[in-house]
Structure 1
């Protein structure tokens, strides 16, 4: 027997969204992965340096996938539940997890790290990244790209502006990196298919990825949720697309 709208929504609204693990969505939503394999590439770079920083580490799940850490390994995170998860996961492996509000300045000295990494940071403070990198150091990250889940955003918020559609575009991000004094080594972008198979998956996603529909609550958007539930029931899934950008930037040896 199919579960009702109320059952699906109530379940998704009550489950924990701590950390950056999306396994609750298994069988309920899918998202294609970029071809480059960020975690594998990050792991190889971490093994080759002496000091590294992972910015906005979330619950530490991605960083924990690295095979080997450098002698000095630090991570930052702002959300208290994620801080606790990341510390529990990473501290046994010698990683120092630092509470940081995701606003400048980073709580580290100039030229402290050979490598700064980040997977899907909410914000990127290029000048701070450049400051904490040593000359010759590298920023290596996977960013959320432009127009990610815009189909879902516009279902709730209506048509978005061209300015918002350009936000996070690789051309914009590489220009900002260069303005901070970094050299672009590599940049790639891929657009990826996403599917939501029930309204509970949508609720969970919007509660977890809070910048998708700012201020989202079930009560505030119940009418739109019900309309989307009916659409999924009729069509079998809600189709959206994400985009991801792989970016590698280097701080010059000399200014």
Structure 2
């Protein structure tokens, strides 16, 4: 076995490192994966809106990493999380801060009262426009940053896997149309395709383990040859690039 193959196998072995929540710091903070910037900052927008909010909901809080950094909070603040592995992580992080975390089964049936919130944040979480409108007060704000249906399909192509066709039409225009017919006025909208760059094959595998819905049929064993070919690309060019797909919408309940 040459050194090239040893690096490849070592990277795959390291990618088995335990993952929890949505904390990508294992590969992002070490510079093994870098995400291109959008022209907007969801965090800055959320921080600004939070200052004038009385009742805040964070939809799809993940492990609570983002919401915990918005402290101090408005008088009332709740979070939802529908992905079971994240629930104990989110509760451990957020409940000491006074944030109650709710689970749910259907986007169309959230455990909240009509007109309960004046600010709803949603970062990369699915939602029902009608249900969001139901729990949002008149003139309340819904801020969402979404992952579009074309997100990182270059990974799937390189592995010989099809993308999730159910979501490939999920984009800015579709979302704006749905919100507009559900009782919202769209105040701000933008859609971009920044680069996602991986600097070693272990970082890519780690990433795919963290978000298994990107390539549900992926396995290291079944796709080892394709991974090796991506590894060769990284060795020759220094990186493996794919395109993200993101859009952001700020809408007011009317």
TM-score by length of 1: 0.89
Secondary structure at the counterpart of residue 214 of structure 1: coil
Deviation at 1:234, TM superposition (A): 2.3
- Residue aligning to 2:147: 144
- RMSD value, Cα: 2.1
Q: 1:100 to 1:159 in 2, by over 3 A?
A: closer
User: How many residues get paired?
Assistant: 249
Secondary structure at the counterpart of residue 154 of structure 1: helix
1:155 aligns with 2:158: yes
- Residue aligning to 2:78: 74
| Larger mean Cα displacement after TM superposition, 16-25 or 102-111 | 102-111
Gaps of 5+ in 2: none
Structure 2: distance between partners of 1:190 and 1:16: 31
Residues 51-130 of structure 1 aligned to structure 2 (within 5 Å): 51-101=55-105, 103-121=107-125, 123-130=126-133
Q: Tell me if the contact between 1:39 and 1:65 (Cα under 8 Å) persists in the aligned partners.
A: no
- Residue aligning to 2:192: 190
Deviation at 1:37, TM superposition (A): 1.7
Structure 2: distance between partners of 1:146 and 1:160: 9
Structure 1: distance between partners of 2:159 and 2:217: 12
Q: Tell me if the contact between 1:38 and 1:142 (Cα under 8 Å) persists in the aligned partners.
A: yes
**For 2:212, which of 210, 213, 216 is the aligned residue?**
210
Runs of 4 or more above 4 Å deviation: 158-161, 163-166
Residues 164-203 of structure 1 aligned to structure 2 (within 5 Å): 167-203=169-205
Deviation at 1:177, TM superposition (A): 1.1
Structure 2: distance between partners of 1:88 and 1:38: 24
Q: Tell me if the contact between 2:193 and 2:244 (Cα under 8 Å) persists in the aligned partners.
A: yes
Q: 1:24 to 1:72 in 2, by over 3 A?
A: same
Q: Tell me if the contact between 1:145 and 1:243 (Cα under 8 Å) persists in the aligned partners.
A: yes
Q: 1:149 to 1:170 in 2, by over 3 A?
A: same
Structure 2: distance between partners of 1:72 and 1:165: 33
Gaps of 5+ in 1: none
Q: 1:159 to 1:80 in 2, by over 3 A?
A: closer
Structure 2: distance between partners of 1:102 and 1:34: 30
Q: 1:142 to 1:7 in 2, by over 3 A?
A: same
Structure 2: distance between partners of 1:87 and 1:111: 25
Structure 1: distance between partners of 2:42 and 2:192: 13
Secondary structure at the counterpart of residue 22 of structure 2: coil
- Residue aligning to 1:41: 45
Structure 1: distance between partners of 2:220 and 2:132: 37
TM-score by length of 2: 0.90
Deviation at 1:165, TM superposition (A): 8.3
Deviation at 1:57, TM superposition (A): 0.6
Q: Tell me if the contact between 1:56 and 1:102 (Cα under 8 Å) persists in the aligned partners.
A: no
Q: Deviations over 1:195-252 (max 9, x none)?
A: 1111101101111122211233222322322222222222221111212211111111
